[in-house]
Amino acid sequence: MKRTHLPLNALRVFDAAARHLSFTRAADELAVTPAAVGQQIRALEDLLGVVLFRRTSKGLELTDEAGAGLAALRTGFLHFEDAVQAMQAGQSSHVYTIAAPREFFAAWLAPRLAAFRADNPQVRYVIVDGELTDFTEANLDLAVRWTDGPGELEGAALGAAEWVEVGQGDWIGWPGDPAPGTEDDQDNEEAKPPIAVSDAGQAIAAARSGLGRARVPGLLARGLISENDRDVIQTTTPCRRGYWLVAPLPQWRQKKVKALVGALTEQALTGQALTGQTPADQSLDQVPAGHTSAD
């Protein structure tokens, strides 16, 4: 097979489907439809002359042929990312491009980026839509995700993973936390919450306005609810998910990224900004709290 004819997009789709063992979750990651994922997989199978997935009663599973090439494929993608990073080496070491959910940026991230920039005035930020997940295409340095861990990426946890219940009355539904009892009954109209919003920030606003109650991430609740309005917070419970800073290994290794991750994770632990350190001053060997690495 000629190198110029490598089906890179189909291989990328295959990698995502193999990680999730689900066309639907792979489609969510790649911002395409499940049908598009299935079409790419079938085209790749036709091209390679092998079957990549089998459907079983438990869901998708990889064939032996698919598993045999998966490790080398992922190593190849990592080399691609290293190559792209090398070509971008000349770009400013003081510009950060960060993907973050809008409500998290407003409640938690923005003031902490401001504190970091106060100590490092040469720093500039580009903030993009938190739904973007393709680091190379969007030229991202870091992303913030509400998740149970970094997955295939490197990552550092930001604060405690906890739910905070806000407001009173009927449940307010939002995609990150369907109202209790509806997770397995989404087709039952009577079981659906009477109020549905698009994100946790809107859920907090609805609860503060007396429209109902919602379970939302603790970091958001404490960032968006003022001290004079804290009686809207009812209970706090541990949560499987939390907010994580994540990036592929090539970005995570960058000195400037390590500096910002170190500052943000320190602020998450202490509630204060780091002072007196510039990105160049921080040690490359510093491992931020909650860090998961393949190094």
Q: Retrieve residue 96's tokens.
A: 């950060």
Are both 78 and 61 inside the same structural domain?
yes
Q: Report the C-alpha gap between 289 and 250 in whole angstroms.
A: 19
Looking at residues 29-49, what average pLDDT do you find? 92
Q: Tell me how many domains the chain contains.
A: 3
Same domain for 156 and 209, yes or no, is: no
Give ∠ CA 233-235-240 in degrees, rounded to 5. Answer: 115
Cα distances (angstroms) measured from residue 96 to each of 56, 99, 177, 274, 284: 44, 10, 30, 17, 17
* 27 in any annotated domain: yes
User: What was the pLDDT predicted at 174?
Assistant: 87
* CATH at residue 249: 3.40.190.10
Question: Is the same domain home to 116 and 259?
Answer: yes
pLDDT for 285: 33
The pLDDT of residue 184:
47
What per-residue confidence (pLDDT) applies to 192?
72
Range with lowest mean pLDDT among 177-186, 190-199, 264-273? 177-186
Are residues 48 and 153 located together in one domain of the fold? no
Q: Which residues constitute the domain of residue 10?
A: 3-87
Provide the mean pLDDT of the chain. Answer: 81
**Average pLDDT of the residues in 82-93:** 66
Residue 292 belongs to some domain of the structure:
no
pLDDT at 14 over 90: yes
Same domain, 126 and 250: yes
122 and 188 assigned to the same domain: no
Residues 216 and 246 reside in one and the same domain = no
